[in-house]
């Protein structure tokens, strides 16, 4: 069971230091835990979580190892910092920065080839779900990722449930996760307004292998509670 916290554009180095110092002292149970701070806070997170079982991952990565790509960060740069992995293809990257199935797959492959662990995000919008296109969208997004890799996991994030307070029912999540696994045999996390109050029920579904947590991962106690809810 993997619980990953996506901090998005929150927590600079000072706030990250405070979080990591406090989080080290929390019981998170028998689960794998990863935090995903902004680029500027990765180094301090790696430093303060060294010697623990808590991994540090980035929120995106470029597909080239180096080059004239202003504002981008490569997999070798992340590895040099001591970063464990990266998210790719988050819906906010797709919606706000024009990322596509193709660019998500390129980022994922580059990161995997450089030895990073990858959480690749997929999910349908509210309009796509209402139009009955959920299966078509998920099959397309997952197929684009290519072959199975032992360092690849998929995060199912129904776009309509991200930051909205809406959450897919456990039954809907299970249905989507089973579909994704029928296309690509990898662990699948659920993301979309995961909170301590709903984590146990969502994570109890047989094909839900963990969670990609957004807002609830910004608070130490809240994130620790979700980790404990996932612990067997």
Tell me which of 62, 90, 177, 205 is the catalytic residue: 90
Cα(102)–Cα(139) distance, integer angstroms: 14
Distance in angstroms (rounded) separating the CA atoms of residues 17 and 63: 29
Nearest to 75 by CA among 62, 84, 88: 62
126 is annotated as an active-site residue: no
Q: Which of the residues 92, 124, 157, 205 is marked catalytic? A: 157
CA dist., res. 168 & res. 148, Å (int): 26
- Between CA 112 and CA 108 the distance in angstroms is 6
Q: Is 128 noted as a catalytic residue in this protein?
A: no
Q: What is the DSSP letter of 59?
A: S
d(CA 185, CA 121): 15
Q: Where are the alpha helices (DSSP H) in the chain?
A: 13-23, 42-49, 75-81, 91-97, 101-113, 126-130, 134-144, 170-183, 196-203, 220-230
Q: By the 8 A CB rule, do 75 and 108 touch?
A: no
**Residue 52 is encoded by which pair of tokens?**
């623990």
Measure the CA–CA gap between 205 and 27, rounded to whole angstroms.
23
Q: How far is CA 126 from CA 6, 76, 167, 199, in A?
A: 22, 36, 12, 22
Catalogue the active-site residues: 90, 157
């Amino acid at each position: 069971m993997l619980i990953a916290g996506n901090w998005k554009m929150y927590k600079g180095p000072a706030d990250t230091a405070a979080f990591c110092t406090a989080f080290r002292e929390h019981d998170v149970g028998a689960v794998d835990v990863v935090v995903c701070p902004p680029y500027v806070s990765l180094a301090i997170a790696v430093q303060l979580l060294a010697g623990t079982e808590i991994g540090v991952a980035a929120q995106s990565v470029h597909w080239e190892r180096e080059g004239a790509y202003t504002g981008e960060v490569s997999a070798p740069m992340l590895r040099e910092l001591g970063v464990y992995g990266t998210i790719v293809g988050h819906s906010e990257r797709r919606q706000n920065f024009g990322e596509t199935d193709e660019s998500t797959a390129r980022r994922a492959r580059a990161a995997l080839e450089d030895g990073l662990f990858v959480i690749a995000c997929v999910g349908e919008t509210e309009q796509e779900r209402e139009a009955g296109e959920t299966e078509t969208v998920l099959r397309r997004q997952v197929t684009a990722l290519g072959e199975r890799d032992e360092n690849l996991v998929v995060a199912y994030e129904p776009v309509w449930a991200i930051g909205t307070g809406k959450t897919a029912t456990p039954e809907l999540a299970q249905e989507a996760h089973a579909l994704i696994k029928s296309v690509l045999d990898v662990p699948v996390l659920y993301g979309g307004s995961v909170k301590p109050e709903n984590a146990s029920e969502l994570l109890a579904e047989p094909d839900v292998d963990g969670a990609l947590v957004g807002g609830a991962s910004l608070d130490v106690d809240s994130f620790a509670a979700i980790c404990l809810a996932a612990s067997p």
